[in-house]
Amino acid sequence: MEIMKDPRFNGIERFEDKIWLSTPTMHGDEQYWVDDAIHKNWITTAGENVNTVEQEAAKLIGRKYAVALSAGTAALHLAVKLCGERLYGQPRVGHGALEGKRAFCSDMTFDATVNPVAYEGGEAVLIDSEYETWNMDPAALERAFEIYPEVRLVVLVHLYGTPAKVREIRAICDAHGALLIEDAAESLGATYRGAQTGTFGDVSVISFNGNKIITGSSGGMLLTDLQADANKARKWSTQSREEAPWYQHEELGFNYRMSNIVAGVVRGQLPYIEEHIAQKKAIFERYRDGLRDLPVQMNPFDADASKPNFWLSCLLIDRDAMCPQTRGEKDALYRQTPGKSCPTEILESLLAFNAEGRPIWKPMHLQPMYRMHPFITAQGSGRARSNAYIKETGMTDVGADVFARGLCLPSDNKMTPEQQDRIIEIIHRCFK
Ligand SMILES: *Cc1c(COP(=O)(O)O)cnc(C)c1O
CATH number reported for the structural domain that contains residue 343 in this entry:
3.90.1150.10
Index of the ligand 1 atom closest to the CA of residue 73: 9
The alpha carbon of 73 and the centre of ligand 1 are apart by a number of angstroms equal to 6
Confidence of residue 384 (pLDDT cuts 50, 70, 90): very low
CATH number for the domain that contains residue 113: 3.40.640.10
Number of domains in the chain: 2
List pLDDT tens digits, range 281-337. Answer: 999 999 999 999 999 999 999 999 999 999 999 999 999 999 999 999 999 999 999
Enumerate residues lining ligand 1, CB below 6 A.
71-73, 109-110, 112-113, 157, 183, 185-186, 207, 209, 220
Domain shared by 47 and 177, yes or no: yes
The alpha carbon of 295 and the centre of ligand 1 are apart by a number of angstroms equal to 31
How far are the Cα atoms of 124, 126, 306, 373 from residue 106, in angstroms, in the given order? 9, 6, 19, 13
Nearest CA owner, ligand 1 atom 2 = 185
The alpha carbon of 291 and the centre of ligand 1 are apart by a number of angstroms equal to 29
pLDDT (0 to 100) of residue 44: 85
Q: Which of 83, 87, 180 is nearest to 127 (CA)?
A: 180
The alpha carbon of 398 and the centre of ligand 1 are apart by a number of angstroms equal to 22
Domain shared by 254 and 349, yes or no: no
User: Average pLDDT of 3-28?
Assistant: 95
Domain shared by 97 and 154, yes or no: yes
**C-alpha to C-alpha distance for 267 and 364, rounded to whole angstroms:** 34
Domain shared by 88 and 184, yes or no: yes
Index of the ligand 1 atom closest to the CA of residue 208: 7
Nearest CA owner, ligand 1 atom 5 = 72
Domain shared by 267 and 296, yes or no: no
- Mutating to test ligand 1, I would choose from 113, 115, 119, 222 the residue with most ligand atoms within 8 A of its C-beta, which is 113
Confidence of residue 385 (pLDDT cuts 50, 70, 90): low
Q: CA angle at residue 155 from 388 to 370, to 5 degrees?
A: 40
The single-letter code of the amino acid at 126 is L
Instruction: Give alpha helix (H) positions in 157-312.
Output: 166-175, 227-237, 260-269, 273-290
Domain shared by 19 and 37, yes or no: no
**C-alpha to C-alpha distance for 161 and 134, rounded to whole angstroms:** 11
Mean residue pLDDT of the chain comes to 95
Domain shared by 281 and 244, yes or no: no
**C-alpha to C-alpha distance for 57 and 80, rounded to whole angstroms:** 21
How far are the Cα atoms of 98, 235, 289 from residue 249, in angstroms, in the given order? 22, 11, 58
Among 256, 271, 286, the domain-final residue is 271
Among 212, 236, 271, the domain-final residue is 271
Among 226, 241, 271, the domain-final residue is 271
Domain shared by 346 and 297, yes or no: yes
pLDDT (0 to 100) of residue 387: 56
Phi, psi of 401 (to 5 degrees): -70, -45
- Mutating to test ligand 1, I would choose from 186, 187, 311, 314 the residue with most ligand atoms within 8 A of its C-beta, which is 186
Domain shared by 363 and 284, yes or no: yes
Domain shared by 265 and 301, yes or no: no
pLDDT at 93 over 80: yes
Burial class (CB in 10 A: 0-12, 13-18, 19+), 429: middle
Residue 258, domain extent: 29-271
Nearest CA owner, ligand 1 atom 1 = 185
Q: Which of 272, 271, 259 is nearest to 217 (CA)?
A: 259
List pLDDT tens digits, range 94-114. Answer: 999 999 999 999 999 999 999
Nearest CA owner, ligand 1 atom 8 = 209
Domain shared by 373 and 228, yes or no: no
Domain shared by 122 and 202, yes or no: yes
Q: What is the pTM of this model?
A: 0.96
List pLDDT tens digits, range 180-214. Answer: 999 999 999 999 999 999 999 999 999 999 999 99
The alpha carbon of 125 and the centre of ligand 1 are apart by a number of angstroms equal to 19
List pLDDT tens digits, range 140-152. Answer: 999 999 999 999 9
Burial class (CB in 10 A: 0-12, 13-18, 19+), 15: middle
